[in-house]
Structure 1
Amino acid sequence: MTNAIRHRHIWQTIVAVALLFCGGVGTAQANGWETGSLAEAGFNEALGDQLDAAFADGEFDGLHGVVVVRHGKLLLERYYPGVDERWGQDLGMVDHDAETKHDLRSVSKSIVGLLYGIALDEGSAPPIDAPLLEQFPQYPDMPDLDAKRAITIEHVLTMTLGLDWSEELPYTDPRNSEIAMEFAPDRYRYILDRPMKDAPGERWVYNGGATALLGRVIATGVDLPLLSYAREKLFDPLGIEDVEWVEGADGEPAAASGLRMRPRDLAKIGQLVLNRGTWDGKRIISEAWLETAHSPHAEIGGGTDYGYQWWLTALPSGESVIGGFGNGGQRLFVVPALDLVVVITAGRYNQPEEGKLPGQVLNDHILEALER
């Protein structure tokens, strides 16, 4: 047995023992979660063992964590050792567990979308039809000024700004637009200085700069740093305490990709969405906003649409999925028809077809184990 496989087996034993104490039924609590059994929630109770076996067999290379919630109860957590990063900084081998924060990468975008909805409900953010440039009067001298006056907050929310922007190159390449933004002395000027390529609203183009602008609009409107506002209005009400928002070289929060939190806490975000904006009986965000945000506003292709900073797709069996997707295999899946939330974290950053891993975990294992 190699040292790597031996380490996996030892770690899986530790996890299995831990789950005996965090996967109980009824009123047992795990960081604000009521826990329950897989069997009572309609799953094959061997699901955890099946995930462990698949990891040991090398099927899930790079998988770090899996959290399954159904009917509002935390049913299963599995964590595995693996090489990890903190927003590009090499952390080496990490023994992930329930208390380990993980990069969310672009799942951060979906959370920024929620924060905008909260600020809008409070009257602290401009409406979706407000011109974007009016929120950035400090940049009066940008190119294509007349064309850019047509960009609205809704174009930001839907990534249809019309700017010349490309994140198709690897995120290790300085020519990638988001990486170039991070190296720029002023990220907001960099974004707004991009030349126009399309009319606003004409075409969806994946754009982390859109989320950076949205984060700044929120922070300006509420007169608080983005993380402070997120703590006050979203994280604290959900009992999410251990969270980090990595800042770029310019000291600004990396709104598009910099959030780090525990997978079980990310599952709370998913449950909030599933609950249509409430947590523990308290209203956190309006149901009307969530309904709008999780409706299709831009067509991506391949059966996938884009809402307001959320991905909208479907399971192979047809049930609609509201998703937060992040580089490396980070996924938040919300399946309303199944009353199901699944969080997957992984370390396949910048690797080709990194999205296959969470798809395998969800479709080939979790959904296959759902018996009713």
Structure 2
Amino acid sequence: MVSTTPTIAYGKHTDLQIAALGETGFKSDPVKRFDDFEKSGRLAGLHGVVALRGGRIVFERYFDGNDMTWGRPLGNVRFGPDTLHDIRSVTKSIVGLLYGIALEEGRVPALDEPIIEQFPEYSDLASDPQRRRLTIRHALTMTLAMEWNENAPYTDAANSEIAMEQAQDRYRFILDRPILAEPGRGWIYSGGAVALLGKIIEQGTDQSLPEFASEKLFSPLGIDTIEWIRGQDGKASAASGLRMAPRSLARIGQMILDGGRSDGRSVVPKSWLDQSFQPAAMVDIGWPGMHYGYLWYVGEEAITDRTGTYGERFIAAIGNGGQRLFVFPRFDFVLAIATGNYDSPDQWRAPAALLYEVFLPSLTAT
């Protein structure tokens, strides 16, 4: 039912530099705090963590553990800097970057264009005036207001993403969902919305999603190896199919900190990043203090230091099992996390402990 693309290699690039001892930029050392949490079992399921400060690796750890890829057991894996890992729905955020690249090149429709017009093969659906109101922007912000349920486990056909993967025609399945409300006024998390965007990118670029991503995003960032899982219909999963190492994920975070640039060249237009990280969906997404931009979460964390308490803006990509990418622009800080707690109700615990109890206190200690 599931196949993967061959591992894609891109050529030689200088690796991320590891900061010298004493030059990490931390106000207090996170190592002891991390070790205490790890010994206590509060980081159960953690496979890898990479932290960057000022573009350099300031913390990196890996652990052996059981893993899987899209529900297929891999057994016990010895993780290291080059070991690939499912990033699940962090894939969505990367597709958001790809749409911005393709838009800048004039290869995909503008954001207020109707989605249904990009799928002329479904003329019967296009005759519905309600569906003609659904735009690219609605897909990017998860505000299509179409029926979609990803609350069930990702092993259950009651989960809409799984049902999409099992459908004879995934795009008709998505576009034919009932419309529940006024588009743009309610937030419904939807892998289907991202699948539509992935298809539009493929149509506009005349490349597969992995090919376009390799040429325009991964290779320019020096990301040497990835995999992109394909469904039973051979389509690369835009919703959750990417596998990459935490170092590679951290590179994407660093590119964001650098305004979309890497090695002196523009990779993602800065104007697109600026748009992507604004709270475009001014609706309740079920997470206090968090909003949603263009397939990225944006939030503000209350930080207290000797100057007082203030709001610290951050950007996040989040995936099932505890996959995380956090970017804190003012701290010049990136945190990439890979864990194996897929579908667990406690999957948030290890990433939350790492962010809030290990690294943020090290950045803000008085």
- TM normalised by structure 1 equals 0.89
The alpha carbon displacement at 1:44 in A equals 5.8
Mapped pair 1:363 → 2:356: yes
Aligned to 2:315: 322
Paired residues of 1:144 and 1:196 also in contact (CA < 8 A): no
Mapped pair 1:52 → 2:35: yes
Measured against aligned partners, the alpha-carbon deviations of 1:118-166 in whole angstroms (never above 9, x if no partner) come to 0000001110011101101111223982200000000010011111111
Paired residues of 2:301 and 2:314 also in contact (CA < 8 A): yes
User: What is the letter of the counterpart of residue 242 of structure 1?
Assistant: T
Match of 1:266 among 249, 253, 256: 249
d(CA) in 2 for partners of 1:320, 1:220: 35
Aligned to 1:338: 331
Match of 2:56 among 73, 95, 98: 73
SS in structure 2 of the partner of residue 315 of structure 1: strand
The alpha carbon displacement at 1:52 in A equals 3.5
Aligned to 1:235: 218
d(CA) in 2 for partners of 1:309, 1:122: 20
Paired residues of 2:13 and 2:222 also in contact (CA < 8 A): no
Aligned to 1:187: 170
Corresponding residue pairs, total: 344
Cα RMSD of the aligned pairs, angstroms, is 1.7
The alpha carbon displacement at 1:43 in A equals 1.7
The alpha carbon displacement at 1:169 in A equals 1.6
d(CA) in 2 for partners of 1:279, 1:245: 23
Match of 2:142 among 137, 156, 159: 159
Stretch moving more, 34-43 or 248-257: 34-43
Q: Which has the higher helix share?
A: 1
User: What is the letter of the counterpart of residue 323 of structure 2?
Assistant: Q
Paired residues of 1:39 and 1:45 also in contact (CA < 8 A): no
Aligned to 1:93: 76
d(CA) in 2 for partners of 1:249, 1:367: 42
SS in structure 1 of the partner of residue 278 of structure 2: coil
Measured against aligned partners, the alpha-carbon deviations of 1:61-85 in whole angstroms (never above 9, x if no partner) come to 1111110001111112100111111
Mapped pair 1:309 → 2:292: no
> Are the structure 2 counterparts of residues 38 and 115 from structure 1 closer, same or farther at C-alpha, using a change threshold of 3 Å?
farther
Dislocated runs of 4+, deviation >6 Å = none
How do residues 124-163 of structure 1 correspond to structure 2 at under 5 angstroms?
Answer: 124-142=107-125, 145-163=128-146
Paired residues of 1:48 and 1:78 also in contact (CA < 8 A): no
- TM normalised by structure 2 equals 0.90
The alpha carbon displacement at 1:33 in A equals 1.1
d(CA) in 2 for partners of 1:215, 1:320: 28
Paired residues of 2:17 and 2:57 also in contact (CA < 8 A): yes
d(CA) in 2 for partners of 1:131, 1:152: 4
Match of 1:221 among 176, 181, 204: 204
Which consecutive unaligned segments of at least 5 residues does structure 1 have?
A: 1-28
Aligned to 2:274: 291
d(CA) in 1 for partners of 2:219, 2:74: 28
d(CA) in 2 for partners of 1:282, 1:352: 41
Paired residues of 1:83 and 1:347 also in contact (CA < 8 A): yes
Q: Percent of aligned positions with the same letter in both sequences?
A: 48
User: What is the letter of the counterpart of residue 298 of structure 2?
Assistant: L
